[in-house]
Amino acid sequence: MPLMNINFVIASKNPKELSGFYAKINSGKVNNGFNATHYFISLGNRSKIHFYRPNENHEWHRKGNSTSLCFQREPSEDPSKILEGWTSEILKIGGSLVGIPKSANFGSEQWMLDPEDNQFLILVPYLLKGSDKETLL
């Protein structure tokens, strides 16, 4: 079976600006796509996030959050501290908070909104002594 890449797509009113926001979160760069209303960023695992402006004939529903992007940092012995700094960075570039940060037995997480009110999750797992860091990423 051929190797498959998993890509994500986000419909946007301003795909160039929104792709820039996510590029900053991922320390990446914005790439031009198929036309003037399509951009993408490459992720380290050969996947991409595509940003496009739907054409005028496309009915665009913005309700529901059954799927979401999740950005994960490396596991840490103090995930709340890492999450706090990361959240601060995202707020400075136009993100906003959804609720409060949560800590659980797996780590710390924060739901956020991008500049166009799309929800995404940031996650910092716990690094437990003796665990294999590579399996947690």
**pLDDT value, residue 109:** 92
- Measured between its terminal Cα atoms, the distance across the chain in Å is 24
pLDDT of residue 130: 59
- How far from chain centre, in Å, is Cα 76? 19
8-52 fold: 3.30.720
pLDDT reported for residue 15: 94
Candidates 3.50.40.10, 3.10.180.10, 1.10.10.10, 3.30.450.20; CATH matching 69-136: 3.10.180.10
Phi, psi of 80 (to 5 degrees): -65, -40
pLDDT of residue 53: 85
**H runs (alpha helix) in 60-107:** 79-92
What is the C-alpha to C-alpha distance for residues 92 and 78, in angstroms, rounded to an integer?
22
Where are the chain's structural domains? 8-52, 69-136
CA distance 41 to 20: 9
Q: Which residues of the chain have pLDDT under 70?
A: 1-4, 56-67, 129-137
pLDDT at 122: 92
